[in-house]
Amino acid sequence: MASSALDSSGNQPVVDIADVMQKIAEHKGCGTSSDDGKASCGSSAGPADMAPEIWEKVKNHPCYSEEAHHHYARMHVAVAPACNIQCNYCNRKYDCANESRPGVVSERLTPEQASKKVLAVASTIPQMTVLGIAGPGDPLANPKKTFETFRLISEVAPDIKLCLSTNGLALPDWVDEIAKYKVDHVTITINMVDPEVGQHIYPWIFWNHKRVEGIEAARILSERQLLGLEMLTERGILAKINSVMIPGINDKHLVEVNKAVKSRGAFLHNIMPLISAPEHGTVFGLNGQRGPSAQELKALQDECEGDMNMMRHCRQCRADAVGLLGEDRSAEFTTDKIMAMEVEYDAEGRKAYQQAVEAERQAKVAAKAGELEGLEGAGDIKVLVAVATKGHGIINEHFGHAKEFQVYELSGSGAKFVGHRRVDLYCQGGFGEEDALSTVIAAINDCHAVFVAKIGGCPKADLQAAGIEPVDHYAHEYIEASAIVWFKDYLAKVAAGEVIHTERGDAAIRQGALLAS
């Protein structure tokens, strides 16, 4: 147990940093410990797998636990418009309701409106467990609005976890306030620990009432980010690091970033692909800077995973996102609609619903565990499979209705979630869109099979022609258990000489806007 006490103000937990670092080192993130003693982030986390206080913080946080993200939802409130730095991948002027990436938002809210919105969402979506402030600017460049929002929400909905995402420049000034409001989860976006690299990502910062540019700006930003991280760790606040992978600029360097943040007690590292398209109007978008391919991203995540658990289920959410990570229900909760809603905060109902979710989650973990035996023959064979799902860890989405596919790596160790791929909708209201099908195939081109609840004859034939097996006979069953059964069958065919195992190629990460459904 961490030694914790209250400080002189009576409300800030003071935690032994060595104790916290030890726990993080032991548990290496938000998941269960596997045979090699290394945690698998969220794969089948249970209370027996980690220190109770860490389990309590991550068990129903969809970003800090991969396993939880199938069941629990988050929401963001866009109360923080200003920013104190400029990133070359950001343009907050761009506002498209069909777009999904950080910084983008449709409506800005006052703290009072945000509080009402949280109650409205919580009473409609009982599995919504986390309230995050992630922009559209930087929450700590708007401290009054940010902390007033946290204060209001902690009063009316104390069971909701509070979460914050920041560029880190102002973080050291606000760590005590963060602790005071019991914000237990803080994300810092750290793209470099070397100002030489940073100068190509950040043209300027606003620091001590003036604009600072170039290497000096990157140096100050990096120092503040790492200091802020150390201060969070000292207070036992779980810190997640987001890094944007920018090929040719910081892709190789992110291994150094990983080491630097791990040594300072970061709980989880989330390496995200650069989203860069000319229509976004960002510096990188306009100068043709490309994002990574799916396999480039996975290779970097795999390389860093040796030292630290990696988040691979990030959806690069809008600053006003609502719902499970793979969905966005923000259009149901516009200011007009929430002001007209009768809101009743049913804390007991929420608790009962979440208990049912917990039972469902444990059934899924048990089903997976029951299938693990018999994978010894896999040797070095690893395959990726794509899955169409609406959530709950179940294969429950039609191929044509999928707006994203979740990707699992199957190996002798079982099934491991390694990412997701956004796609264009194939089904356009009664007919299949052939152009969309080619983008789907490009997005899952590195997969051997795609698991769906249902699929039509045309896309089935095209997938087969592309070497991807459509699998629809596990409809409405658990993803991981089904994928392992399929993998055992695949291994048996390889052993019998019916199938020659070959590696698949690379796949594309979608750069454009999401299509409205």
- Contact with ligand SF4 (CB under 6 A) among 75, 79, 90, 237: 90
CA 336 to chain centre: 29
- Is position 167 an interface residue for ligand SF4 (rule: CB under 6 A)? yes
Residue 77: which of ligand SF4, ligand CLF, none does it interact with, CB under 5 to 8 A by kind?
none
- Of the two residues 165 and 225, which places its CB atom closer to ligand CLF in the complex? 165
- Contact with ligand SF4 (CB under 6 A) among 30, 85, 120, 125: 85
Helices 479-495 and 347-371, packing angle to 10 deg: 10
- Is position 135 an interface residue for ligand SF4 (rule: CB under 6 A)? yes
Residue 325: which of ligand CLF, ligand SF4, none does it interact with, CB under 5 to 8 A by kind?
ligand CLF
- Distance, in Å, from the CA atom of 149 to the CA atom of 199, rounded to the nearest integer, reads 34
Residue 420: which of ligand CLF, ligand SF4, none does it interact with, CB under 5 to 8 A by kind?
none
- Contact with ligand SF4 (CB under 6 A) among 29, 103, 126, 323: 103
Report how many residues bind ligand SF4 under the rule CB under 6 A. 12
- Of the two residues 149 and 445, which places its CB atom closer to ligand CLF in the complex? 149
Residue 249: which of ligand SF4, ligand CLF, none does it interact with, CB under 5 to 8 A by kind?
none
CA 478 to chain centre: 21
- With beta carbons less than 8 A apart as the criterion, state whether 394 and 479 touch: yes
- Is position 42 an interface residue for ligand SF4 (rule: CB under 6 A)? no
- Of the two residues 195 and 419, which places its CB atom closer to ligand CLF in the complex? 419
| 324-383: contacts with ligand SF4 (CB under 6 A) | none
Residue 253: which of ligand CLF, ligand SF4, none does it interact with, CB under 5 to 8 A by kind?
none
CB of 69 to ligand CLF, least distance (A): 8
What does the H/E/C string look like for 448-509?
A: CEEECCECCHHHHHHHHHCCCEEECCCCCCEHHHHHHHHHHHHHHHHHCCCCCCCCCCCCCC
- Is position 58 an interface residue for ligand SF4 (rule: CB under 6 A)? no
Residues with Cβ within 8 Å of 95's Cβ and at least 6 positions away in sequence, in order, are 104, 105, 106
Q: Return the C-alpha torsion angle 11, 12, 15, 20, nearest 10.
A: 120
Please name every residue paired with 36 in a beta bridge, in sequence order, or none if there are none. none
Q: In the complex, which residues of this chain contact ligand CLF (CB under 6 A)? A: 63, 74, 76, 102, 130, 132, 134, 163, 165, 185, 187, 270, 314-317, 325
Residue 210 tokens, joined: 């003036």
- Distance, in Å, from the CA atom of 205 to the CA atom of 69, rounded to the nearest integer, reads 34
- Is position 149 an interface residue for ligand SF4 (rule: CB under 6 A)? no
Say which amino acid occupies 512: G
- With beta carbons less than 8 A apart as the criterion, state whether 121 and 160 touch: no
Closest chain position to ligand SF4 (CB): 90
CB of 281 to ligand CLF, least distance (A): 20
Q: Under the rule (CB under 6 A), what is the footprint of ligand SF4? A: 83, 85-87, 90, 92, 102-103, 135, 137-138, 167
